[in-house]
Chains A and B, each alone.
Chain A
Amino acid sequence: GAGVSQSPRYKVAKRGQDVALRCDPISGHVSLFWYQQALGQGPEFLTYFQNEAQLDKSGLPSDRFFAERPEGSVSTLKIQRTQQEDSAVYLCASSLGGTGRDTQYFGPGTRLTVL
């Protein structure tokens, strides 16, 4: 079956622009995670959804970052007024169960470059 997909795969934004990154999880998966991965680093947790409920958003680096999953399926990560330090790969992962203890299936990521 289809895995986790993310779009766009690459995004170039000018500083100050708003961007929206989309994640399509595996159908039926309850949990959805967003991560930010800087070059040469491990993924850093941003936020977690269980169905449509955002249970944890403690990793979002500032109030410019906002995530939603309104129908418990597709999720969107929005970054307002992008800054150069936002340049990174943004990964989405989903899992069948309701916690991070379950196997997470990762998408290919969206590489964001802010000029």
Chain B
Amino acid sequence: GNSVTQMEGPVTLSEEAFLTINCTYTATGYPSLFWYVQYPGEGLQLLLKATKADDKGSNKGFEATYRKETTSFHLEKGSVQVSDSAVYFCALSDSTGNQFYFGTGTSLTVIP
């Protein structure tokens, strides 16, 4: 079946540190991959996505590359800010587009 496994949190970093949140997936066919973010007190929102192998999604300084050979979609940011404190969810849409799977979420706190 389809599933997403992401790095457990919580993660605490100092401002300007490098961030990696690992995400691996299991899927049949050709899924699309996503990172969604939930800021404190807000609803889930899309951060970035990639729809095919080797695609790189990017937004707000965050990047993730769809690696089919390692079934991974790790989230990275070179220099985090306090405003990046949030819960980050890796997710996939199956080949049909009719089902969607989230990871368990990784809580990030950035301290000044």
Q: Which residues of A contact B (CB under 8 A)?
A: 3-4, 33, 35, 40-45, 48, 55-56, 58-59, 91, 93, 98-101, 103-109
If A33-B100, A103-B49, A106-B44 are given as contacts, then 8 extra A-B residue pairs at C-beta distance below 8 Å, sorted by A number, are A3-B43, A4-B43, A42-B89, A42-B103, A45-B101, A100-B32, A106-B43, A108-B43
Residues of chain B in range 73-106 having any CB-CB distance to chain A below 8 Å: 89, 91, 93-94, 96-105
Interface residues of B (CB under 8 A from A): 4, 32, 43-46, 49, 51, 89, 91, 93-94, 96-105
Residues A100 and B46 in contact, CB atoms below 8 Å apart: no
Given A48-B99, A56-B99, A108-B43, also A101-B104 (CB < 8 A): no
| CB proximity of B8 to chain A, nearest CB, Å | 11
A103 to B103, CA, bound (A): 17
- For the complex, give the distance between the alpha carbons of A106 and B104 in Å: 17
Give every chain B residue within 8 A of A108 (Cβ-Cβ). 43
B98, A100: Cβ atoms closer than 8 Å: yes
Asked whether B99 lies within 8 Å of A107 as measured between CB atoms, the reply is no
Expressed in whole angstroms, the minimum distance between the Cβ of A74 and any Cβ of chain B is: 18
**Contact assessment for B32 and A48 in the assembled complex, using a CB-CB cutoff below 8 Å:** no
- Given contact pairs A91-B44, A106-B44, A99 touches B97 in the complex (Cβ within 8 A): yes
A99 to B34, CA, bound (A): 14
Q: How far is the CA of A55 from the CA of B89 in the complex (A)?
A: 24
13 example contacts (A-B, Cβ-Cβ < 8 A) are as follows: A40-B104, A42-B89, A42-B104, A43-B44, A48-B99, A59-B99, A93-B44, A98-B97, A99-B93, A99-B97, A100-B32, A101-B97, A106-B45
